Each structure stands twice: as structure tokens, then as C-alpha cells.
Amino acid sequence: MKLVGIVSTATLALLLGIAAPVYAQQEQQDEKKGHREEQQGKHEQARPNPQHAQQQQPDHKQQQQERAQQQRQEGDKQQESAQQQQSRDDNKRQQHAQQQQRQEQNKEQERAGQPQRRDQNEEQQQHANNRRDNERPRRTQEQQRVQQSAWQEHRSQRWDSDHRTWQQRGGYNGYRIPDDRFRGYFGQDHSFRIYGLPFLVVGGYPRFQYGGYWISTVDPWPEYWGNDWYDNDDVYVVYVDSGYYLYNRRYPNVGITISISM
């Protein structure tokens, strides 16, 4: 009996000795396998997902396309704005050129019209002079001698020293012609000739009547005027520097001091 028990015990021990290494080896293999699976899982997690990459790639291309389209739109706007500015500048330059051209044309027309107007004025003046010559009353020889003597006695020998303006004389104190009457008969546009007008000699000075008023000379007349200027030259009356003066169209640079009376 003891022998059987010993044998059984020995057999059990032998079996346990064999099984323990086998179990340890199996456990080690299982542990290695688990470790490999864990490493593989981590590697798969670290590997990029092809589907996710494909999804990100179209989004990036779409953003690039949108940016490119936005840049094209901005470029189109800038080009359109530049074209509009260029068009405005061209219009301004064209308008300025047209305005200058119109001004030049107006100046040329004005310059061209001035000689024509002068010729017309001279022609009208000549006709008026011819009418006056034809309408002149005939003076007797005695009247002609008296008038010629009165004018010649008041011819200046030194005009610069003999002539005095109304300001130098202390101011004009004679009759003042009403403005509307003056504009109708006097001024540079209303010339006349003394010949044939009513004539008097007052205080040794010539006096003649024109436009309803008596005109008396106060100054002598310049020595370089023609001998018969009072018969053949056109004269006119102006009011300047607070007084009246008689001007000769043939010698327009000087005026004789005169006085007006009714």
C-alpha cells in the first residue's frame, strides 16, 4: 500500500514538473501576442486615415479656388475703377480743349469784326460829315473874317505853359449838362464840326452853340493844330477830372478847357 502511494505521489510530482514549464511558456506566448496586438493598434491609430485625408484635400482645393476667384474679382474691380477714372480724365481734357477752342474762335471773330466795325464807323462818320458840309450855311466874308480873327488870336505859342486844367484853375463852376442830355449829344461818340454853328466873340474869346448850349473856350488852342481846324476837324466834348474839355479827333492827346452855358 505504501508503495502504491509513493508511486502515485512520484507520478503526480512528475506531471506537475512537466506541466509547469508548459504553462509558463504558454503564458509567455500569450503575453507577447498581446503586446504585438497593442503595438499594432497604436501603429494603426498613428497611420493617417486615407478617407480623412481625401476629405481634407477637396476642402483645401476649394479654399484655394475661392481665394483665386476673390482675387480675380478684386482685380476686375480695380481695373474697372481705373478705366472709369481714365474715362473721366479724358472727358475733362476734351471739355477743356473744346472750351479753349471756343475761346480762340470767339477771339478770332472779335479780332476779325473790329476792323469791320471801324470801317463801318468811319464810313458812317464820313457820310455824316458830307451831309454836314452840304447843309452848312454860307457865311458872309465879314463873318468868316471875324471868326478867323477870333480863333487865330487865341492860338498858343507854348501849349505846355499856356494850358491849364480845371483843377489848376480851382475847379469848374459853370453850368452842368444833365446826364441824359449829355449822353445824347456829347461824349466821344458824338463828334461835330464848329463850322456853320452859331458863333459869337465874348470877351475876346470864341463862343459857339451846339446841342442847345453855348460853348466858350477858356484855353488857347495848341500851336500844332491845323490853321483851319475849327472849320474842317471833327471835335467832341467830354467831362473828365471835374470839368469840360474840347477834343480834336485829329489830335486826340490834348483837350481845350471850355465852359458851358445856356
- Tens of pLDDT along 73-98? 887 788 877 788 887 877 788 788 77
Q: Higher model confidence: residue 120 or residue 142?
A: 142
Which pLDDT band, with edges at 50, 70 and 90, does 9 fall under? low
| Range of weakest confidence among 25-39, 71-85, 137-151, 169-183 | 25-39
pLDDT of 12 strictly over 70: no
Distance CA(167)–CA(156), nearest Å, equals 20
Which pLDDT band, with edges at 50, 70 and 90, does 109 fall under? confident
| Range of weakest confidence among 40-54, 133-147, 177-191 | 40-54
Largest CA-CA distance found in the chain, in angstroms, rounded: 212
pLDDT score at 11: 53
Contact 216, 205 (CB under 8 A): yes
- Tens of pLDDT along 204-237? 889 999 999 999 999 999 999 999 999 999 999 9
Q: Which segment, 22-26, 61-65, 69-73, 162-166, is predicted with the most confidence on average?
A: 162-166
Taking CA 45 as the corner, what is the angle to CA 40 and CA 50, rounded to the nearest 5 degrees? 115
pLDDT of 10 strictly over 80: no
pLDDT of 58 strictly over 90: no
Question: Mean pLDDT, to the nearest integer, of 111-126?
Answer: 62
pLDDT score at 30: 57
pLDDT of 34 strictly over 70: no
Q: Tell me, what DSSP letter sits at residue 171?
A: -
Q: Are strands 251-261 and 213-217 parallel, antiparallel or unpaired?
A: antiparallel
If you write DSSP's letter for every residue of 219-261 in order, what string do you get? SPBPTTS-TTHHHHS-EEEEEETTEEEEEETTEEEEEEEEEEE
